[in-house]
Amino acid sequence: MKTTVLIIGGGIAGTAIARELSKYDVDVTLVEKEKDIAFGGPTKANTAIIHAGYDDKPGTTAAKLCRRGNAKWGRLSSELSIPFRRIGSLVIAFNDDEISVLYELMKRGEANGVQDLRIIMGRELFEMEPNLNRKAAAGLYAPSAGVTSPYEAAIALAENARMNGVSFLLETEATGIIIKNGKVKAVQTNRGTIHTRYIINAAGLFADEVSAMAGIEEFKITPRKGEYVIYDKNLRSLVNHILFPIPSPISKGITVTPTVDGNLIAGPTAHDIEDKRDASTTFEGIEEVLRGACKLVPCLSARRDAIISSFSGLRPQPSTGDFIIKSYEEPYGFINVSGIKSPGLTSAPAIAEMVVEILRAEGLRLEMKSDFKPYRRPIEHPFRDFNPAKAEALIDQDRSYGHVVCRCEHVSEGEILEAIRRGATTLDGVKYRTRAGMGRCQGGFCTPHIIKILARELGIPVEDVTKKGGDSKVLLYRAKHLLIGDEKE
């Protein structure tokens, strides 16, 4: 196979780059080792905040791209129908020392070009957040901060890029890089060799390993684990803004954040670990999350019953401390988009533009396509959006919209079928596209129904339906095989 630009990694960085390049007349291919977009890294497991941009030190690439990326989310979300709301954030100080940190953060934000930052005290603070700890002394308010759905964003970017001609190869792992005369020639994968002029390394946690395949070993990626809990939607009205504590030297701290879907999320912790595949949650981690959350919103201490799920994500923490987005004299044609730690989600649209400029500077001719299609039609969620007229119209066209499969999130069979038509082949693929299984019962009711729909539509036995590809089987064998003791029959 042959392409001009090969992107390694289908997280938010890789898909944003694919979509940006799809505006130009150039042959682009993206390889992703997992079964679906956004399955393999932090893109599926983060706080989903579009940060205002006061955290990173002025002059760093992360600071520059965070502010630029934040400004792009409004247009991006409306073009691609990505859920996004600018709800604003507050960093909460509890004493004079912490208040002086708020002033430092404000100064840093202003140096980064963040507008409308304001320190709020007294009555105004508690009017904005009636359930905030009464011992809170002040808050740094950033109205430009927002929340989104990171996996839906990556899926939307990929769908639109595909619509504009980018090829996506899933379950395709880059295993080696062929270099000749100091130039990139090809990428070896588990499915064969792909010849290419340019390689974009957007492999997230594994970007140091892919970079080493090209002979560049100037940085290491350490996984920094962040654990979370998610609260039921009936707690959503407790908090109006993204609430942060004072940041620590290694993280922005444990937040309490309203999600774009109407839940509350608390987390993340921040602990460096060894294993890039260890996405487990721990008793200690969850207790730490709850302590942090209850310090900001004390009434949460009485609502452990409202926790519906927990999960963890691994930040790809680079040894350089900053995003590594650059090309090299040798091997010519290799571009690192590595160490995309937080705020990588926020920065993704700006990262993509920066990569296009690097490719141009490296001699790639990039001419705008006259027929670029900027818009993506979303999957309709008439019940979730409380739109009875739309629901009626859809049911008139297709009876499957009248069959509600996920009762917690009000997802119909019609939406699940649409998700499968758009590329979902697993339970998580359906979940990330429709939210089926993400509600109060966490799939307890709908999972067997979705398995049957997936098996029917994909033409496979129910036992072959997986949670997220590979060996993540949900059903091991039929009950009758268990009874007769021959599961292989």
Catalytic residues: 51
Instruction: Map the footprint of ligand FAD across residues 333-392, applying CB under 6 A.
Output: 340-346
Residues 91/117, Cβ–Cβ less than 8 Å:
no
**210 lies in the binding site for ligand FAD (CB under 6 A):** yes
Least separation, in Å, of the C-beta of 69 and ligand FAD? Answer: 8
Nearest Cα to Cα of residue 96 among 246, 243, 294: 246
Please tell me the distance from the alpha carbon of residue 362 to that of residue 15, in angstroms, as a whole number: 21
* 150-163 helix and 344-361 helix, angle to the nearest 10 degrees: 30
Least separation, in Å, of the C-beta of 77 and ligand FAD? Answer: 14
- CA triplet 119, 120, 122: central angle to 5 degrees? 145
Instruction: Map the footprint of ligand FAD across residues 255-294, applying CB under 6 A.
Output: 268
Least separation, in Å, of the C-beta of 200 and ligand FAD? Answer: 11
Residue 236 identity (one-letter amino acid): R
Least separation, in Å, of the C-beta of 398 and ligand FAD? Answer: 32
DSSP calls for 294-344 = HHHSGGGGG-GGGEEEEEEEEEEEETTSS-EEEE-SSSBTEEEEE---TTH
Q: Is 326 exposed, middle or buried (0-12, 13-18, 19+ CB in 10 A)?
A: middle
The tally of CA atoms less than 13 A away on the side-chain side of residue 201 is: 31
CB atoms closer than 10 angstroms to residue 330: 14
Instruction: Map the footprint of ligand FAD across residues 222-261, applying CB under 6 A.
Output: 226
Least separation, in Å, of the C-beta of 445 and ligand FAD? Answer: 29
Of the pair 14, 439, the CB lying nearest ligand FAD is at 14
Of the pair 22, 412, the CB lying nearest ligand FAD is at 22
Of the pair 214, 306, the CB lying nearest ligand FAD is at 214
Binding mask 94-133 for ligand FAD (x = CB under 6 A): ----------------------------------------
Residues 17/344, Cβ–Cβ less than 8 Å:
no
Stretch that binds ligand FAD, among 11-19, 297-305, 326-334, 378-386 (CB under 6 A): 11-19
Please tell me the distance from the alpha carbon of residue 350 to that of residue 344, in angstroms, as a whole number: 10
Structure tokens at 149: 């759905």
DSSP 372: -
Please tell me the distance from the alpha carbon of residue 145 to that of residue 287, in angstroms, as a whole number: 27
> Distance between alpha carbon 163 and the CA centroid of its chain, in Å?
21
Residues 115/71, Cβ–Cβ less than 8 Å:
no
Please tell me the distance from the alpha carbon of residue 256 to that of residue 161, in angstroms, as a whole number: 33
Binding mask 13-32 for ligand FAD (x = CB under 6 A): xx----------------xx
Least separation, in Å, of the C-beta of 414 and ligand FAD? Answer: 29
Strand partners, 255: 267
Of the pair 48, 76, the CB lying nearest ligand FAD is at 48
Least separation, in Å, of the C-beta of 323 and ligand FAD? Answer: 9
Of the pair 29, 412, the CB lying nearest ligand FAD is at 29
**430 lies in the binding site for ligand FAD (CB under 6 A):** no
Answer for which of 53, 139, 146, 204 binds ligand FAD (CB under 6 A) is 204
Q: What dihedral angle (degrees, nearest 10) is formed by the CA atoms of 452, 453, 457, 459?
A: 0
Answer for which of 90, 205, 354, 355 binds ligand FAD (CB under 6 A) is 205
Answer for which of 168, 206, 244, 401 binds ligand FAD (CB under 6 A) is 206
Query: Binders of ligand FAD: how many residues, by CB under 6 A?
Result: 41
Answer for which of 3, 5, 7, 11 binds ligand FAD (CB under 6 A) is 11
Least separation, in Å, of the C-beta of 138 and ligand FAD? Answer: 23
Least separation, in Å, of the C-beta of 251 and ligand FAD? Answer: 8
Please tell me the distance from the alpha carbon of residue 368 to that of residue 169, in angstroms, as a whole number: 24
Q: Coil, strand or helix: which one is 207?
A: helix
Q: Where are the alpha helices (DSSP H) in 239-379?
A: 283-296, 344-361
DSSP 463: G
Answer for which of 34, 232, 409, 415 binds ligand FAD (CB under 6 A) is 34
Binding mask 35-64 for ligand FAD (x = CB under 6 A): ----xxxxx--xxxx-x-------------
Structure tokens at 242: 């993204």
> What are phi and psi for residue 314, nearest 5 degrees?
-115, 115
Stretch that binds ligand FAD, among 9-17, 130-138, 415-423, 452-460 (CB under 6 A): 9-17
**144 lies in the binding site for ligand FAD (CB under 6 A):** no
- CA triplet 250, 56, 41: central angle to 5 degrees? 65
Instruction: Map the footprint of ligand FAD across residues 290-329, applying CB under 6 A.
Output: 313-315
Of the pair 35, 381, the CB lying nearest ligand FAD is at 35
Of the pair 263, 447, the CB lying nearest ligand FAD is at 263
Of the pair 55, 380, the CB lying nearest ligand FAD is at 55
Residue 280 identity (one-letter amino acid): S
Footprint of ligand FAD (CB under 6 A): 8-14, 31-34, 39-43, 46-49, 51, 173-174, 202-206, 210, 226, 268, 313-315, 340-346
